[in-house]
Amino acid sequence: MKKIAILTSGGDAPGMNAAIRSVARTALAKGIQVYGVSYGYKGLVEGDINEFDRFTVSEKIDKGGTFLRSARYPEFFDTEVQQVAAKQLKDRDISSLVVIGGDGSFKGAEALSQFGIQVIGIPGTIDNDLDYTDYSIGFDTAVNTVVEAIDKLRDTSSSHQRCNIVEVMGRNCGDIAIRSAIATGAKYLASPETNYSREALVADLQQQFSDGIRYSIVVMTEHLDEPYELAKYVQYQTGIETRATILGHVQRGGSPTAFDRHLAVSFGRLAGELIIDGISNHIVGIKDGQFIHVPITEGLNAPVRDRQFDITTFNVTR
Ligand code: ADP
Ligand code: F6P
């Protein structure tokens, strides 16, 4: 009988549980034995691998986080460590592994395939930074979390006629910032895809307030600037009272939206079917409304998705 394992790796994302459940149910329905690996590649190397039954994944579809837990485990870059991980699976006659995570986790999966493990990846990251797919699990929930927070910040910013600089996650990808800036009618967007500079921000805010706007929300992707220091700088340069809010890890939690659950369940089913069909070294995704799968290397080298329409939409509608 075929045996498969599932793990979650890298930063967690709402919807990972729904994806684990879907892979497990798809496989169990075909009489395949399913194992959960705890703590990502770390747990794999340490042999933290436990068999699922049908009820292991019950009551998980609505839960944020990952019940398999996750980890960042830099030791996994080492080929000898990868070999130990492959042996842990082979010792249990587990031939296949589904990895739910981001690009780093997919590279780990690709490495494992060199040791004869059948691997399939499911994109799970709030950053939405995988260009081969239009969406990854968790992004929609994170954007909704940001939108809810900014709606609240708008209330207080408007009462006090302030500027509020809101830092959101995304690593090197501006999708969370871009989507939430559009959805909240923010007044300024700073993301890796826009040419951010302090000077341009200050000039824009000065223009906004001289045009009669009484408060402003600036949405900014992390790592572009230091928000608290920037708030002081903006206030000093413009005379506009300015505050900074770093939304941080709140963006990684919470019950997944219906969109993310649907994505997770669909990706999970596809991943399970690919395993059954003997396909390896592929990652699943969604492109132009179609569920797809591509070789890991092709997916990781996909051309950068065009974000210009969204950025222009923000600029003309803000
Ligand atoms: P994400 O999967 O969200 O991009 P990371 O980049 O932190 O998150 O990667 C998650 C884990 O995947 C790493 O901690 C490491 O264990 C493994 N990993 C990342 N890159 C590689 C690589 N090039 N080779 C082998 N394993 C990797
Ligand atoms: O990749 C997801 C993410 O939340 C990024 O947006 C962020 O830069 C990073 O992970 C934070 O990592 P950690 O949880 O290790 O602090």
Residues 6+ apart with CB under 8 A from 300: 103, 106, 107, 130, 132
Six-digit token string for 200: 């341009």
33-37 and 3-8: which strand pairing? parallel
Q: Which CATH number fits domain 3-138+256-300: 3.40.50.450, 3.20.20.70, 3.30.930.20, 2.30.30.190?
A: 3.40.50.450
Ligand 2: atom nearest CA of 223 is 8
Q: Verify whether ligand 1 is closer than 6 Å to residue 41 (CB atom).
A: yes
pLDDT at 258: 98
Q: What percent of the chain has pLDDT over 70?
A: 100
Is the CB of 224 inside a 6 Å radius of any atom of ligand 2? no
- Please tell me the pTM assigned to this model: 0.98
Ligand 2 within 6 A of CB of 123: no
The predicted model gives 299-310 an average pLDDT of: 97
Phi-psi region of 204 (alpha: psi -120 to 50; beta: other; left: phi over 0): alpha
Start-end of CATH 3.40.50.460 domains in the chain: 140-252
Give the pLDDT confidence score for residue 1 in this predicted structure: 83
CB atoms inside a 10 Å sphere around CB 278: 10
How many Å lie between the centroid of ligand 2 and the Cα of residue 6? Answer: 21
Q: Is the CB of 252 under 6 A from ligand 2?
A: yes
Which atom of ligand 2 lies at the shortest distance from residue 72's CA? 15
What is the Cα 38 distance to its own chain's centre? 19
Residue located nearest, by CA, to atom 10 of ligand 1: 10
Summarised one tens digit per residue, pLDDT across range 98-120 is: 999 999 999 999 999 999 999 99
CATH superfamily of the 140-252 domain: Phosphofructokinase domain (3.40.50.460)
Rg (the chain; Cα; Å)? 22
Residue type at position 195: N
Any ligand 1 atom below 6 A from CB of 103: yes
In Å, what is the CA distance from 128 to each residue of 4, 137, 141, 200, 216? 27, 8, 11, 27, 26
> What type of residue sits at position 124?
G
Q: Which of 72, 78, 132 to mutate to test the pocket of ligand 1 (most atoms within 8 A of CB)?
A: 72
Write down the mean pLDDT value for the chain: 98
> Candidates 9, 100, 126: which one to mutate for ligand 2, based on the most atoms within 8 Å of Cβ?
126
Burial of 169 (0-12, 13-18, 19+ CB in 10 A): buried
pLDDT score at 93: 98
Ranges of CATH 3.40.50.450 domains, the chain: 3-138+256-300
The label of the residue with tokens 């399913």 reads 34
**Which of 244, 167, 236 is CA-nearest to residue 206?**
236
What pLDDT does 54 receive?
81
pLDDT (tens digit per residue) in 211-224: 999 999 999 999 99
Average pLDDT of the segment spanning 242-264: 98
pLDDT in tens, 7-20: 999 999 999 999 99
Q: How many CB atoms lie within 10 A of CB 312?
A: 10
Confidence band, pLDDT 50/70/90 cuts, at residue 269: very high
Residue with tokens 């990854």: 136
